[in-house]
């Protein structure tokens, strides 16, 4: 039976191959962004959406973003954002969301 480590390694390898393929096929572009979002569809299926953009996207929860600059010859990871904003369990209540959490999430979009 595969372990969580096996699954993580397989996802990492799959994404590496996808990004490598894009970089090799888009060498004619001077600068572009690769936005990756993984979504679960059931308990056994994870699907990664990969979007190529000409302008820098806004930061989206649950995404990884790379900037590829072929003119300068650089590849830079801009962010890796979790699906949720991590919260100390002691701050949670059934009544309301703490102000600090609301402030930290303000302006962030959710890619769905």
Q: How confident is the model at residue 100 (pLDDT cuts 50, 70, 90)?
A: low
Which residues neighbour 18 within 8 Å (Cβ) at sequence distance 6 or greater?
36, 48, 50
Q: Which residue from 79, 37, 26 is spatially nearest to 56, judged by alpha carbons? A: 79
Residue 79, pLDDT > 70, answer yes
pTM of the predicted protein model: 0.70
Q: At residue 99, does pLDDT exceed 70?
A: no
């Amino acid at each position: 039976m595969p372990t969580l480590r096996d699954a993580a390694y397989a996802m990492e390898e799959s994404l590496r191959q996808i990004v490598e393929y894009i970089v090799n096929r888009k060498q004619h572009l001077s600068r572009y962004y690769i936005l990756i979002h993984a979504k679960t569809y059931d308990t056994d299926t994870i699907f990664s959406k990969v979007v190529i953009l000409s302008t820098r996207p806004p930061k989206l929860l649950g995404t990884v973003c790379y900037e590829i600059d072929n003119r300068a010859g650089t590849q830079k990871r801009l962010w890796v954002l979790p699906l949720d904003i991590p919260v100390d369990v002691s701050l949670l209540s059934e009544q309301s969301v703490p102000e600090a959490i609301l402030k930290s999430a303000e302006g962030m979009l959710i890619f769905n």
